[in-house]
Structure 1
């Protein structure tokens, strides 16, 4: 067996955007950090996401509305929601919990919790961006949600009413104002809703790498390898990697995204984490004059202008970690985007598929492991990993140092299921 590494204050498992934000905040709290990453830095969901700080996206995915849409969506194997037949039995327990979370009283609870989390996320991200010198990576162009009929807008109004109660600014637009916000839309889109305080990053991968550089400059170490066991010890915890290497630390954080579930289970926390496989195509810069992120909610995808090109992607495929990518899903969204944005140049794009770690109630797991309070869970953010990364980092640092918490963590506890 390989020799044990020198002890560290805290080991963070996962160097995606959530793990990096945890490392940044732990360092700010005076802790030394070692990052342990099974793949490349920020090469999971942090690499190819839509790049949004979606602080206004307070509506849980598990909702009465999604239950009404799901049967129609599931009829289209390339539509906004798909479950490969071979995975249907595996996903059934998760879907049952998702249905329960969509009931009106539970939905209302999750919406309230998500709203509080988003308020913290906005503050914490602003502070992390400033503290890490990442301001040049952030854009404040807003988001434009698009509707093909007045009936579609009317169906969305309860969600906007909920946002209004939370003080979120938005503007329903039509005609000249709609064309001003995004020229060149297909005439099928008759209305939109503009959220001016929505922000995006120039490129999510570059944003994460810049944060990684800051964390490393502040003294972090990086270890490449997959953690297969976390063993509580008298003086701390020991992480065992596939090659036999051990990493000793006083505390540990599990921020491994879609790969976190097995580690949590070894610590007594059977978290129903599932994998939303998200797809996109990034077209070359100049493929279309996209002024801001566009959301085609009725079709389950967005179009985002990045410094590296135009990204067309989204949708949900509940298919686990092992099945090969089905890039027909990327192509289906690209075909729709070409119809919605006449003149969009669809050649020269790069396709991608990534794994979003998702829980049935649309809330992440943030809290201490059942087996040992020195181990902290921080995963399961679904579509909101980038958005909620700084808030999660702050909360993890507060847990690790025993400081007062910025948010009540009982709704995020690992044993809530």
Structure 2
């Protein structure tokens, strides 16, 4: 290969074309390259500039429950009427969203709901160990702080809900401790005295900079020969020797393709597999506060206010809220600034918003709250998308699963990877 090979030459020599340069696509590319495969990653943006850039940074292994429960029925009017609410459905998007929401409601029945919990839990229980292995392998364990996270409450009426949640977590074997107000103050003294207590999750953590995490994995992938192409994949079809992809810069081919482009994965999945997946997007917002680097020791979530605050190297990131408005409507950055207003009263001294920057990204969500992780079309198409708000949490274990399913040697038994059955494409 020449020092400046053409895209066509790269693809002709590729074993796997990974479509999507977010945290999941890059982590998968690295693991596949370590098997000796020639890997090319294709994305219209620079690596990590999609949803991976602005996520909350929380390693959310405790979040084993689906994105919604039956209470969503009573909340629907508020979702439509309140543009600043924590769960927002744009009324203009309602006709397109209704089929997805109908499937969501069907998955809230007892049996499918329990299957969803089991599927999320299986991935989450393997996530921390997978991240430890992945970061250790590139000598970047410094990017992850394994110091737990805290869910706090302020209203006396919320105590029953907190205790009920603790019981549900214990039932799912999620490590959780009920903290008193004094325990909260001892661990996070800058929080307001109005906080009455909370739940502490010891087996969680947070990443100090999600974007730098992607960059570190990109550099490791490049060291293993992975090539990155800045192109937009517009279509594709199964060919005799593999997969042919049409991009905005021409026709490319590879022996296998991995679809890992998050909320943008549905059309290529349909083109290659003939399977229409009910993929939608939870539009998530964050507000980055560069003046607030020392406020919190770990990620803190407010039960009543429904958002999370994560300390990072560049400041404090306020994140959360869910908006259903599709991929095409412009962001409503007022929702990002609303996060600062929500923080008021949670600290002894209000947060400094000087120099704050807002952001919006697309979380890929399926109505059963489980991702698609699979190998189809005689092994020519690999799938890794639909992780909703757990993409960062589950990226490393997803990469191990993809590497395991494509490796003739298999993965070491000691890794204890989850069974793939709950994540198969055929469930749709």
TM range (shorter): over 0.9
1:7/1:247 contact within 8 Å kept: no
1:409 match: 420
Map of 2:4 onto structure 1: none
Partner of 2:3: none
Out of 261, 266, 290, the residue aligned to residue 261 of structure 1 is 266
From 336, 354, 359, the equivalent of 1:352 is 359
Query: What is the correspondence of 1:144-159 to structure 2 with a 5 Å cutoff?
Result: 144-159=150-165
CA distance in 2: counterparts of 1:68 and 1:114, whole angstroms: 25
**C-alpha spacing 1:402/1:64, structure 2 compared with 1 (3 Å):** farther
CA shift in 2, pair 1:34/1:157, >3 Å = same
Indicate the larger mover: 144-153 or 107-116.
144-153
| Corresponding residue to 2:252 among 242, 247, 250 | 247
Residue 194 of structure 1 is aligned with which of 189, 200, 204? 200
Is 405-414 or 358-367 further displaced after alignment? 405-414
Quick check: 72-81 or 37-46, which moved more?
72-81
The Cα shift of 1:59 comes to 1.4
Q: Deviations over 1:37-68 (max 9, x none)?
A: 11111001100111111112111213235555
Q: Tell me, in whole angstroms, the C-alpha distance in 2 between the residues paired with 1:199 and 1:241.
A: 38
Separation in 2 of the partners of 1:81 and 1:415? 30
Name the CA distance, whole Å, in 1 between partners of 2:38 and 2:277: 28
Determine if contact 1:282/1:351 at 8 Å carries over to the other structure.
Answer: yes
Given that 1:48 and 1:204 are in contact with CA atoms closer than 8 Å, whether structure 2 keeps it comes out as yes
1:298 alignment partner, SS class: coil
Deviation at 1:288, TM superposition (A): 5.7
Gaps of 5+ in 1: none
The alpha carbon displacement at 1:123 in A equals: 2.0
- My pick for the range that moved more, 282-291 or 319-328, is 282-291
User: Tell me, what secondary structure is at the counterpart of 1:339?
Assistant: coil
- Tell me the alpha carbon deviations over residues 201-255 of structure 1, each in whole angstroms, 9 at most, x when there is no partner: 11100111111110011111111101112222222222221222x3222111000
1:93 equivalent in structure 2: 99
Normalising by structure 1, report the TM-score. Answer: 0.94
2:278 match: 272
Q: Is the 8 A contact 1:145 1:194 kept in 2?
A: yes
Instruction: Summarize the Cα distance change of 1:165–1:2 in structure 2 as closer, same or farther, 3 Å threshold.
Output: closer
Task: Using the TM superposition, give the Cα deviation of residue 69 of structure 1 relative to its aligned residue in structure 2, in angstroms.
Answer: 5.0
Alignment of 1:118-197 (within 5 A): 118-197=124-203
User: For residues 75 and 340 of structure 1, do their structure 2 counterparts lie closer, same or farther at Cα, with a shift above 3 Å needed?
Assistant: farther
Instruction: Give the match for residue 361 of structure 1.
Output: 368
What's the C-alpha RMSD, in Å, of the aligned pairs? 2.0
Q: Is the 8 A contact 1:79 1:299 kept in 2?
A: no
Q: What secondary structure sits across from 1:64 in the alignment?
A: coil
Q: How many residues align?
A: 415
Could you say if the C-alpha distance between residues 185 and 66 of structure 1 is closer, same or farther in structure 2, counting changes exceeding 3 Å?
Answer: farther
Q: Secondary structure at the match of 2:274?
A: coil
TM-score (norm 2): 0.92
- Aligned-partner SS, 1:286: coil
Where structure 2 has 5 or more consecutive residues not aligned to the other structure, the ranges are 1-6, 412-416
